[in-house]
Amino acid sequence: MSRSIRVLYVDDDPQSLDVITNRCEAVSELRFETESRPRQVADQLHEDLDCLITDYRMPGMDGIELLAEASKQRPELPILLLTGHGGGEIASEALRKGATEYMEKSTAIEQPDLLANRIRNAVEQMRREKTNEALATDANRFIRATSPTAVYEAAIDLTCETLGFEDAAIIEETPDGHLVVADSGFSTSVLNELPTAEAVSTATDSEEPVVVEPGTVDELDTVSCWVSLGSHGVLVGRTAGRDAAVDYLRDGILIVATNAESALTRLEQAALLDERKRELERQRTELASLRQTNEVIRSVNRAITSVSSQREIERLVCERLVGEDRYSYAWIGEYDLESERLTPQAKAGLGANVTVDSPVSLVDRYSVETLETVIDHRQVAVETPPTEIGEASLRYVTDPDTDPDAGTAVLVPITHNEILYDVLIVYAAGRTSVGHREQDVLAELGETIGYALRTAEQRRALVGDADTEVVFEIDCEQEHLIQLSTAANCTVTLQSLSTRSDDRLRQFVLVEGAEPDAFLEYADRIGIDQPTVLVERDDCFVATLTTDESPVINCIADQGVSLTEFRAAEGRGTVSMTVPDTTDVRTLAELFESTFAGAELRAKRQLDSSVDTPQGFREQLEETLTDRQHETLQAAYHAGFFAWPRSNTGETIADRLGIAGPTFLQHLRAGERKLLRELFEQDQTVYS
């Protein structure tokens, strides 16, 4: 909008009217209206009029009378009285009656620029006072504002409607540029053409408004005024001409910006205070919740110290957890590394009679992040229930996971010395979240239960023989089976092994996912001596591998434990072994972790054992057989010699072993006799 100054000049002398009007308009932006009849002025004192100039001597009404009447109608209107030479007394009277300025008419004619400047100053003073009054009145908008949006709207309205800027915007500086959060029609193209970055930076660092000189934006000769809102951005007003540079507009936009900044800061502090109140309320609620949880945990701790059975410990834990209405459901499962399933051991609470009766697949039931947290990192994880059950929530397949009312699921690893025994899953009744403090308490409970289970194991060991199965995952670039699983992209499982007479290892392996010829080629490449395929089946085959040593097998043999499984796939090996209860599993785990890269103890299970176990029988038999008899029986078994029909003849197997056919049969028959003698003589001893 235009900010030009409109002036009404009253004089009964037509020549003075023409001369003064033309000369002033020639040297300024002033726009004149003229009137030669003083008594007609009252009808022309409209709101758009900015200044009144009147001659003193006029017929019917002199200048003093005119300014008195005009002041009644427009008290704020600047009035300038033109006097003749030596009219000092008249000028003094005029000033007393409300005139803003006076000037001799001859000076006005000779120095039109001086007259224009006097008019401009008077009008700017009038506008400043009106603006300040309007801003003071409208300041209540900032006080009443209850949101940043309301503050933005008030600042934009006052900048445009009260101060008279063409348009305005509030701009926030962001790491990736500048964001207009409020505007009065500030187009993107306008913002792009303005020196935004420089102006925002300068205004932010300045306590005064920054005026950007005229530039050609949208084909307008514009001036923009930028003023900081502190941490809340920058207020910019844009207008045609040079009006933004005048003091009263700069002061006005500074007042608007100051009020806006104060209001935004007040709202920000109020929001922080509200958040603090909510946080305190959350903390109070959490502390009350934590006290309840601690009571439950103490009850659990008291209960498990009085029992020695692992199953009884697990049952009591679940019952006590749901007995105080703190949790709606609880169950404990034993984790199996290979299947990634939990086998339920105990349960209590909602739906305990219908749910979680069979091994549960954690992969189908919980997210990858949850499993990594619980299984890999041995930390508590939380999962919120689905809002509804449908195709998108198939992982929640059994109660209480299908019941949102059961509450948030908390998965707690039950550990002792970093060994994972079980996983406890509890459901926080009617809650959509579980606080960190409660999670910490549950984590401690998991360790307490783990300690109790370990103690029960030790007690059990004191009253009878017991073995423990431990499972490790390892990386070992020197291990041939792991090398082959990577090179041939297959799974290699050790079926059995023997030590030849030359102290070399002969390994019988089951190979899945590879072609026999390709597998043998890879075996040759990595230095395995005479790899041989004994028998081929539909989707796998059995091969023999002869090596000088095996790092994994050697390590196990040195510790006096029994290897029960060694499987390699995708460059990782899974090693299962049975250790006597007298073996310190933690020490064994530390040995594996220091010997093999990436070694992790993945499972630990208690086994019932006695003298007459398959492992014990196997050890007795191996002591009876010679190395050649043992090797011959192994080769014949894995090559399908005892199958019907036979997969391979004795001559074929003998040739693969590098011995004569009769020699093969001699060792085979001798081994069979010893095997049967051990079986039946032991049987007679047991049942006699």
Under 8 Å between Cβ of 397 and 364: yes
Cα Rg of the chain, angstroms: 48
For 62-120, what is each residue's pLDDT tens digit?
Answer: 888 888 888 888 888 999 988 876 567 787 888 888 888 888 888 999 999 999 999 98
Task: Say which range, 281-285, 357-361, 462-466, 591-595, has the weakest mean pLDDT.
Answer: 462-466
Helices of type H across 526-575: 551-559
Query: How many Å apart are CA 334 and CA 323, to the nearest integer?
Result: 22
| Whether the predicted pLDDT of 597 surpasses 70 | yes
Overall CATH class of domain 305-461: alpha beta
Q: Domain residues of the chain, as ranges?
A: 6-134, 139-269, 305-461, 610-688
- For residues 252 and 182, the model is more confident at 252
For 544-593, what is each residue's pLDDT tens digit?
Answer: 998 888 888 888 877 767 888 899 998 899 999 888 766 667 778 888 88
Query: How many Å apart are CA 519 and CA 513, to the nearest integer?
Result: 10
Domain 6-134 falls under CATH 1.25.40.10: no
Helix (H) or strand (E) holding 543: strand 540-547
Q: Which fold has domain 139-269?
A: Beta-Lactamase (3.30.450)
Select, from the ranges 118-122, 244-248, 384-388, 436-440, the one with the highest average predicted confidence (pLDDT): 118-122
- For residues 160 and 19, the model is more confident at 19
Query: How many Å apart are CA 96 and CA 263, to the nearest integer?
Result: 42
Look at residues 565, 567, 576, 517 and name the one whose alpha carbon lies nearest to residue 541: 517
Query: How many Å apart are CA 66 and CA 54, to the nearest integer?
Result: 8
Mean pLDDT for the stretch of residues 276-288: 85
Under 8 Å between Cβ of 238 and 214: no
Instruction: List 686's β-bridge partners, or say none.
Output: none
- For position 681, what pLDDT does the model report? 54
Instruction: List 494's β-bridge partners, or say none.
Output: 509
- For position 112, what pLDDT does the model report? 93
| Whether the predicted pLDDT of 457 surpasses 60 | yes
Phi, psi for 195 (deg, rounded to 5): -75, 65
Q: What are the distances in angstroms from CA 16 to CA 5, 9, 91, 141?
A: 20, 10, 19, 48
- For position 79, what pLDDT does the model report? 92
Residue 662: band (very low, low, confident or very high) from pLDDT cuts 50, 70, 90: confident
For 196-242, what is each residue's pLDDT tens digit?
Answer: 667 777 777 777 777 776 554 444 467 778 888 888 888 888 876 65
Average pLDDT of the chain, as a whole number: 79
- For position 29, what pLDDT does the model report? 85
Query: How many Å apart are CA 1 and CA 170, to the nearest integer?
Result: 20
591 Cβ contact partners less than 8 Å away, ≥ 6 residues apart: 555, 559
Query: Would you call 455 exposed, middle or buried from its count of C-beta atoms within 10 A (0-12, 13-18, 19+)?
Result: middle
Residue 189: band (very low, low, confident or very high) from pLDDT cuts 50, 70, 90: low
SS3 342: strand
Q: What are the distances in angstroms from CA 245 to CA 85, 206, 238, 250, 275?
A: 37, 16, 11, 7, 42
Query: How many Å apart are CA 356 and CA 631, to the nearest integer?
Result: 47
Phi, psi for 339 (deg, rounded to 5): -90, -10
Helices of type H across 627-660: 627-638, 650-657
Task: Say which range, 157-161, 432-436, 437-441, has the weakest mean pLDDT.
Answer: 432-436
| Single pTM value for the model | 0.43
Token pair 């620029």: residue: 113
- For position 560, what pLDDT does the model report? 67
Under 8 Å between Cβ of 453 and 421: yes
**E strand spans, 177-317:** 177-183, 210-217, 220-228, 234-240
| Whether the predicted pLDDT of 429 surpasses 80 | no
| Whether the predicted pLDDT of 334 surpasses 70 | yes
Under 8 Å between Cβ of 668 and 632: yes
Residue 20: band (very low, low, confident or very high) from pLDDT cuts 50, 70, 90: very high
For 390-414, what is each residue's pLDDT tens digit?
Answer: 333 323 334 444 554 556 889 999 9
Look at residues 592, 590, 564 and name the one whose alpha carbon lies nearest to residue 467: 564
Helix (H) or strand (E) holding 92: helix 88-96
Query: How many Å apart are CA 108 and CA 542, to the nearest integer?
Result: 119
Query: How many Å apart are CA 608 and CA 554, to the nearest integer?
Result: 26
- For position 390, what pLDDT does the model report? 32
- Which amino acid appears at position 226 of this protein? W
SS3 330: strand
Query: How many Å apart are CA 449 and CA 413, to the nearest integer?
Result: 10
Number of Cβ within a 10 Å radius of residue 356:
22
Phi, psi for 447 (deg, rounded to 5): -70, -40
Mean pLDDT for the stretch of residues 350-363: 60
- CATH number at 610-688: 1.10.10
Six token digits for residue 56: 């003193």
Six token digits for residue 255: 């007042």
Is 305-461 in the same CATH topology as 139-269?
Answer: yes
| Whether the predicted pLDDT of 2 surpasses 50 | no
| Whether the predicted pLDDT of 358 surpasses 80 | no
Q: What are the distances in angstroms from CA 3 to CA 6, 77, 113, 247?
A: 9, 16, 19, 14
Under 8 Å between Cβ of 480 and 547: yes
DSSP code, position 563: E
Tell me whether the omega of the peptide bond preceding residue 645 falls within 30 degrees of 0, making it cis: yes
For 614-654, what is each residue's pLDDT tens digit?
Answer: 555 565 666 677 777 777 888 888 888 888 788 788 888 88
Query: How many Å apart are CA 529 and CA 626, to the nearest integer?
Result: 22
Q: Which residues of 194-223 are buried (b: 16+ CB within 10 A; e: fewer)?
A: bebeebbeebbeeeebbbbeeeebeeeebb
Tell me whether the omega of the peptide bond preceding residue 112 falls within 30 degrees of 0, making it cis: no
- For position 339, what pLDDT does the model report? 76
Mean pLDDT for the stretch of residues 279-289: 82
- For residues 19 and 238, the model is more confident at 19
Share of the chain above pLDDT 90, in %: 16
- For position 311, what pLDDT does the model report? 82
| Whether the predicted pLDDT of 445 surpasses 80 | yes
- For position 243, what pLDDT does the model report? 54
For 521-548, what is each residue's pLDDT tens digit?
Answer: 999 998 898 899 988 888 899 999 988 8
- Which amino acid appears at position 1 of this protein? M
